[in-house]
Amino acid sequence: MKKFLQCMLVITVGAFSSGAGVHAEDGKFQVQSNLQAGVAKVDITPSEVKDFEVVGHRRKVTGVRDPLRAGVLVLSDGETKAAIVTLDTIFAWTEFVQIVRPQIEKATGVPAANIMVTASHNHSGPGFEADSEWGRELVQKIVATAKTANSNLRPVSIGYGEDQISFGINRRKTIDGRAVVRLNPDGPNDPRVKVLRFDDGESLTPMAVLMHAVCHPCFFTWGDKGSNPYPNGYPRMSADFPGVAQSFVEMSYAGKTDSLFLQGCAGDIRPNLPGYPYRCADEADIQWAGRDLGSAVVRTLAKNVTRENLKKREEFYPIRVANTTVSLPGKEGRIDAELQAMKIGPYLLLTMPGEPMVEYGFTLEESIADRAIPIIIGYANGHVGYIATEKSYEVGGYEPNRSRLLPEAEIMILTELSMLADQVVGDVFESFSKHPKDAEKRAAEEKARLNSTSK
């Protein structure tokens, strides 16, 4: 009997150990994909923040509530490389883009034209001057981070999902034939959160996360003079709600993932902070928004790795990129604007270099939604100011009045982006034709595109 019990103990311990081994492997899944990805992030907060003037709604700040960061995601499908750079800053400044792209190309081999540089549109961070200490540091840090991301390339698959946020609201209302600044719950708004997770299959923790939402990061800026406790705006530097949300997502995965934020068409969408016409946020407000977005992202990420959703993932992710610089009609002359399309498997990213009103996103999605999964991005690859709809000029208001563009710029932007989508989606005959003349034309156009941004 004693020997029998000893044998049973050995068998039980062995079975338990074996079971523990199985559970240790639980969460791994096979990645069958041609796509490789690498990611890295870096702190870009200025080293000295004392009586520092932040941009957006300009004000002096001393000290830092939370750090400003930048992220770089490098992608390769085996033939084509691309990169996405995200910044916790107000703009992807045109001068900055022109400086940093060729340096990233040199450090990583990613063609300059295939690099998307985006900003969250944070109103509580610094402006950019190329010859300033912070400006030089920013360029150096982004290039070094891109190099790190490129050195970490590994096979991944992509999961996609959507959720919603609750804190954005339209800030325009038409009264007696003219637009006024007013928190307008009945105005157009896009509360959707779009989430891409990049997985290497080693665990249920994503290697990288791209989150896309639509709202001005201006929680901490001044509104009216009667709003305590910060009538003149929050007195410290911050990455605003996109920074809090990124940190929330990373904390949820014990710091083992990197999350990056993409801003949508937020030209007329702001935080729902009632006042006259609105107020500056306090700590409760920023935690609400950051955790609201972060929770939406985490919910989406978690659901996306259930076995039913894993089965839906693609195994082939071709990368295609197209750019064009369009000369837009401006109030004081022509204005050059770079537009970009980047397709990663079924996901189509379209960019505009300024502040598009929310209707742009809806219009572009409607035109391409049955051909790809659209993600429309503002504040990317330069800055031309507000991009108002043609209709908005009829009633005026802040956005069209402040815009440097004329109303007819809208149709030109939409047309050019539609043509770029045709090129990268590849379902228009000219984009896949094997006829020698068509192939030669595409090759010449691609050579010209790559050369245009490598200078």
Nearest-angstrom CA–CA distance, 47 and 429: 53
Q: Tell me: the pLDDT tens digits for 24-59? A: 478 999 999 999 999 999 999 999 999 999 998 899
Q: Which range has the worst mean pLDDT, 107-111, 124-128, 220-224, 295-299?
A: 220-224
Mean pLDDT of the region 279-293: 97
Q: What is the mean pLDDT of the chain?
A: 93
Token pair for 261: 């934020």
CA 173, 174, 176, 178 dihedral sign is positive
Q: How confident is the model at residue 12 (pLDDT cuts 50, 70, 90)?
A: very low
Q: Which helix (H) or strand (E) holds 125?
A: none
Q: Which of 201, 270, 205, 283 is nearest to 244 (CA)?
A: 283
Q: How confident is the model at residue 14 (pLDDT cuts 50, 70, 90)?
A: very low
Q: How confident is the model at residue 454 (pLDDT cuts 50, 70, 90)?
A: low
Token pair for 52: 């520092």
Place of tokens 């989606």: 425
Beta strands 386-387; 355-356: pairing state:
parallel
Residue 217 carries which side chain, given as an amino acid letter? P
Q: Tell me: the pLDDT tens digits for 287-323? A: 999 999 999 999 999 999 999 999 999 999 999 999 9
Q: Which of 369, 405, 384 is nearest to 337 (CA)?
A: 384
229 preceded by a cis bond (ω within 30 of 0): yes
Place of tokens 């107020």: 279
126 preceded by a cis bond (ω within 30 of 0): no
Q: How confident is the model at residue 431 (pLDDT cuts 50, 70, 90)?
A: confident
Q: Is 80 helix (H, G, I), strand (E, B) or coil?
A: coil
Q: Helix crossing, 94-108 with 133-151: angle to 10°?
A: 40
What are the domain boundaries of the chain?
Answer: 36-310
Say which DSSP state 28 is in: B
Asked if the model's pLDDT at residue 370 lies above 50, the reply is yes
| Contact present, 383 and 354 (Cβ < 8 Å) | yes
CA 58, 63, 66, 71 dihedral sign is positive
Mean pLDDT of the region 347-366: 98
pLDDT of residue 455: 58
Q: Tell me: the pLDDT tens digits for 199-243? A: 999 999 999 999 999 999 999 998 777 788 898 899 999 999 999
Q: How confident is the model at residue 443 (pLDDT cuts 50, 70, 90)?
A: confident
Q: Would residue 78 be called left, alpha or beta, if left means φ above 0 and alpha means ψ between -120 and 50 degrees?
A: left
Q: Which of 138, 142, 119, 118 is nearest to 128 (CA)?
A: 138
Nearest-angstrom CA–CA distance, 121 and 137: 20
Long-range contacts of 229-234 (CB under 8 A, 24+ apart): 229/282, 230/280, 230/281, 230/282, 231/280, 232/59, 232/280, 233/57, 233/59, 233/280, 234/61, 234/65, 234/124, 234/280, 234/281
| Contact present, 278 and 398 (Cβ < 8 Å) | no
Mean pLDDT of the region 375-401: 98
pTM summary value: 0.92
- φ/ψ (deg, to 5) at 199: -120, 140
| Contact present, 233 and 218 (Cβ < 8 Å) | no
Asked if the model's pLDDT at residue 92 lies above 50, the reply is yes
Q: Which of 258, 263, 224 is nearest to 240 (CA)?
A: 263
pLDDT of residue 63: 98
Token pair for 7: 């044998």
pLDDT of residue 438: 75
Q: Tell me: the pLDDT tens digits for 315-349? A: 999 999 999 999 999 999 999 999 999 999 999 99
Nearest-angstrom CA–CA distance, 266 and 377: 9
Mean pLDDT of the region 161-178: 97
